Amino acid sequence: MVLRVSEMKTAAQIEFGDFQTPLDLAIEICALLRREGLKPEVIIEPTFGLGAFLVAAAEAFPAARLRGFEINADYLQATRQALRDAKVSNRCELRLQDFFTFDWDTEFRSMTGSILLLGNPPWVTNAAVARLNGSNLPIKENFLGFRGIEARTGKSNFDISEWMLIRLLCALRGKPATLAMLCKTATARKLLRYAWQNDGRIAGASLYRIDVKKHFNASVDACLLLAHIGSSGPTEAAVFASLQARKPFSHLGIIESETANIFSTSGGAHAPSRVSVGAPPTEQASARSTVCGKRSMKDCGEAPQSAREARALPRRTCNRTALVADIRTYSRLKHLEGRCPYQWRSGLKHDCASVMELLPNPDGTFSNKLKERVRIERDYLYPLLKCTDLSKGNSNPTRFVLVTQKRVGEDTRPIARQAPQTWDYLNAHAEYFQARKSPIYKNGAPFALFGVGDYSFAPWKVAVSGLHRHPRFGLVGPQGERPVFFDDTCYFLSFAEEREARAVAEILNTPHCLDFLASLMFPDSKRPVTVELLRRLNLSAIAQDAGLAGLWKSIQPLDGQGSESKEGGISLTRD
Ligand SMILES: C[S@@+](CC[C@H](N)C(=O)[O-])C[C@H]1O[C@@H](n2cnc3c(N)ncnc32)[C@H](O)[C@@H]1O
């Protein structure tokens, strides 16, 4: 019996990341491993569930011994039966075991023969488990010890499978083995990056995309991560479109870069560490590893320390490295990398779209998302574009947004005098603002915003969606004297003059720039385009390559200083 995602409704299933692999997919994966020439003597399934991988692997590798671990007692019984039915139970040893309390170091140290780690670890994040008040987590400091700002921005959030895979890699300590794990594509990247940055002895790695909709009825981006461990190889991995594909469509890899932010959202491990996971265990590490029953990686010697320590180390000492989606294209175009001379901004954040976003009616009233007809002054209303508008090339807004502040922290009470209907409308919907979950609004002025400043009121903008895979930079001018705003799914540059904005948009939309950006971007990320990536665009070099050097020169200040342009009291500052 295979549990499908659509049937999984209970909190326990969510907490335990219970997405069982269908047997046909497990068989297909084992066939690929055979095609790759694998001949494992020991196969380990660290969270075997209903045992699809154990059944498939027992069939595909008839000489192998199999060891499986699982926390769910019902699954243990079901898998025992499935292995008996397949007449392979004499080669299989199953154990009811919590992954987090198992001594993986001792398990691997005593192991002989070629090892295959095969499976599909839980699909759940620490934040989701925490929301359910669940306990299926590594020790709390590992994810709750992050500082407030990181919790607020979501940087402390990580996948349980990421933690588990790093744990297994650390416990192997460079011992020859093959890792073949189904996981989110982002998790695979984070594991590889962690290994490459910490001498994880990855001899070679590849990612095979999985049709998650078909096999799991879910809509995440997942892959089979295949990594051969034991010696250090190139820091790049071939990416295949499917399990059947014979040729990779790209190679992701790690690069050193002056401008890359190693903690960018483009795929950084949540807890990278500088210690070598490939190093043989020291006396000290061996001694510590005997206490692996503790639910903490730090007890395993070579693993990441507490989140706070692990996070601090690379920030102080690590080279500036970053993962790129297409290392070959990146290598060809890396001269286009630098520091963007303009400051990229995020759009307006209000977390109250139902009240703040309004559609105009012919009679001069507005409709909000609560389907209410609203009569308010126009003083605080500004045209609004969203990421979908930008991705479609639409720069003519049809909706408005209420902008209650000109800068973060500004007192909102003057609205009462200047626009009493607006003030009444806001107060009549105060409960929607009070229900905003983000802690950034705590103790702020009523109806406060984020992502607002002088730059928001500049007349000309060049904007891009953060959520779409194919970036398109839109030139956006004022609408009837009003500057256009963007929501917080967009990024933009501000300009006082149309001429400069137009030139920059042209340079950003050249194939040279878009190809370079594509080489850095991971399309399956929630936000494929980030401010960190945009900051790495060297507009001068891009213009040069694209034959637009003259255009670029024409917008450089004559005095050569080039740091500031002003218009209408708005100061637009370059970095
Ligand atoms: C994504 S399912 C995959 C199951 C199986 N590996 C497969 O491929 O079908 C994840 C499995 O991890 C198990 N699991 C979750 N937390 C665990 C833990 N702390 N220790 C051991 N197993 C765990 C769940 O019960 C579930 O069976």
Q: Which two tokens stand for residue 243?
A: 């399990």
pLDDT value of position 156: 65
18 lines ligand 1 (CB under 6 A): yes
Q: Which of 146-160, 185-199, 249-263 has the lowest mean pLDDT?
A: 146-160
425 lines ligand 1 (CB under 6 A): no
CB 497 within 8 A of CB 458: no
pLDDT value of position 131: 82
pLDDT value of position 319: 56
CB 60 within 8 A of CB 29: no
Determine the Cα–Cα distance for residues 515 and 392; give it in Å rounded to an integer: 19
Given a cut of 60, whether residue 383 has pLDDT beyond it is: yes
Given a cut of 60, whether residue 475 has pLDDT beyond it is: yes
Q: Give percent of the chain with pLDDT exceeding 90.
A: 72
How many angstroms is it from 99 CA to the middle of ligand 1?
A: 9
The DSSP letter of residue 568 is T
Given a cut of 90, whether residue 277 has pLDDT beyond it is: no
Given a cut of 80, whether residue 307 has pLDDT beyond it is: no
99 lines ligand 1 (CB under 6 A): yes
pLDDT value of position 20: 96
Determine the Cα–Cα distance for residues 552 and 499; give it in Å rounded to an integer: 11
Given a cut of 70, whether residue 18 has pLDDT beyond it is: yes
pLDDT value of position 260: 60
Closest CA to 25 of 120, 112, 113: 120
Terminal-residue alpha carbon distance, the chain: 59
What is the position in ligand 1's atom list of the atom closest to the CA of 160? 16
Closest CA to 356 of 531, 493, 488: 488
pLDDT value of position 154: 40
163 lines ligand 1 (CB under 6 A): no
How many angstroms is it from 122 CA to the middle of ligand 1?
A: 5
How many angstroms is it from 53 CA to the middle of ligand 1?
A: 12
What is the position in ligand 1's atom list of the atom closest to the CA of 16? 15
Given a cut of 70, whether residue 283 has pLDDT beyond it is: no
Question: Per residue in 426-455, pLDDT tens?
Answer: 999 999 999 998 888 888 899 999 999 999
pLDDT value of position 413: 96
Q: Which residue, chain included where needed, has tokens 């795929």?
A: 267
Q: Within the chain, what is the greatest distance between any pair of CA atoms? A: 83
Question: Per residue in 252-262, pLDDT tens?
Answer: 999 887 666 53
pLDDT value of position 462: 98
**Radius of gyration over every alpha carbon of the chain, rounded to an integer in angstroms:** 27
The pTM of this model reads: 0.79
What is the position in ligand 1's atom list of the atom closest to the CA of 49? 27
Residue 485 vs residues 422, 444, 459, 479: alpha-carbon distances, Å: 19, 22, 10, 10
Given a cut of 60, whether residue 286 has pLDDT beyond it is: no
How many angstroms is it from 463 CA to the middle of ligand 1?
A: 43
Torsion sign over Cα 354, 359, 361, 366: positive
Q: Please name the amino acid found at residue 388.
A: T
| pLDDT band at residue 214 using 50, 70 and 90 as cut-offs | very high
119 lines ligand 1 (CB under 6 A): yes
Given a cut of 80, whether residue 9 has pLDDT beyond it is: no
70 lines ligand 1 (CB under 6 A): yes
Hey, is 322 helix, strand or coil? strand
How many angstroms is it from 119 CA to the middle of ligand 1?
A: 9
Hey, is 250 helix, strand or coil? strand
Q: Which residue, chain included where needed, has tokens 């639910």?
A: 295
- Please list the alpha-helical segments (H only) found in 205-245: 212-216
The arithmetic mean of pLDDT across residues 376-396, rounded, is 96
The arithmetic mean of pLDDT across residues 156-172, rounded, is 90
Residue 201 vs residues 204, 228, 278: alpha-carbon distances, Å: 9, 8, 6
Question: Per residue in 225-251, pLDDT tens?
Answer: 999 999 999 999 999 999 999 999 999
187 lines ligand 1 (CB under 6 A): no
φ/ψ (deg, to 5) at 216: -125, 0
pLDDT value of position 132: 85
CB 402 within 8 A of CB 356: yes
| Half-sphere exposure at residue 275, Cβ-oriented, CA atoms within 13 angstroms | 23
Q: Which of 191-205, 292-306, 487-501 has the lowest mean pLDDT?
A: 292-306
The arithmetic mean of pLDDT across residues 62-85, rounded, is 98
| Residues 190-199 as b or e (16 or more Cβ within 10 Å = b) | bbbbbbbbbe
H or E stretch at 118: strand 115-119
The arithmetic mean of pLDDT across residues 282-306, rounded, is 32
Q: Which of 186-200, 287-301, 323-337, 470-484 has the lowest mean pLDDT?
A: 287-301
48 lines ligand 1 (CB under 6 A): yes
104 lines ligand 1 (CB under 6 A): no
CB 49 within 8 A of CB 120: yes
What is the position in ligand 1's atom list of the atom closest to the CA of 119? 6
pLDDT value of position 104: 96
H or E stretch at 236: strand 236-240
Question: Per residue in 515-554, pLDDT tens?
Answer: 999 999 998 888 999 999 999 999 999 999 999 999 999 9
Given a cut of 90, whether residue 317 has pLDDT beyond it is: no
Determine the Cα–Cα distance for residues 397 and 479; give it in Å rounded to an integer: 8
Q: Which two tokens stand for residue 323?
A: 């993962």
Closest CA to 266 of 524, 33, 71: 524
How many angstroms is it from 207 CA to the middle of ligand 1?
A: 21
pLDDT value of position 259: 63
| pLDDT band at residue 186 using 50, 70 and 90 as cut-offs | very high
Given a cut of 60, whether residue 304 has pLDDT beyond it is: no
CB 342 within 8 A of CB 496: no
Closest CA to 122 of 70, 79, 171, 168: 70
Q: Give percent of the chain with pLDDT exceeding 70.
A: 81
451 lines ligand 1 (CB under 6 A): no
Please provide the DSSP assignment of 432-483 as one string: HHHT---GGGTTS-TT--BS-SGGGG-SEEEEEESS-SS--PEEE--BTTBP
159 lines ligand 1 (CB under 6 A): no
Please provide the DSSP assignment of 328-356 as one string: HHHHHHGGGBS--SB--EE-BB-S-HHHH
| pLDDT band at residue 562 using 50, 70 and 90 as cut-offs | very low
What's the chain's length in residues?
A: 575
How many angstroms is it from 50 CA to the middle of ligand 1?
A: 9
Q: Which two tokens stand for residue 19?
A: 């997405």
pLDDT value of position 563: 43
19 lines ligand 1 (CB under 6 A): yes
**Mean pLDDT of the residues in the chain:** 85
What is the position in ligand 1's atom list of the atom closest to the CA of 50? 9
Domains along the chain with CATH numbers: 5-324 (3.40.50.150), 345-573 (no CATH)
299 lines ligand 1 (CB under 6 A): no
How many angstroms is it from 281 CA to the middle of ligand 1?
A: 28
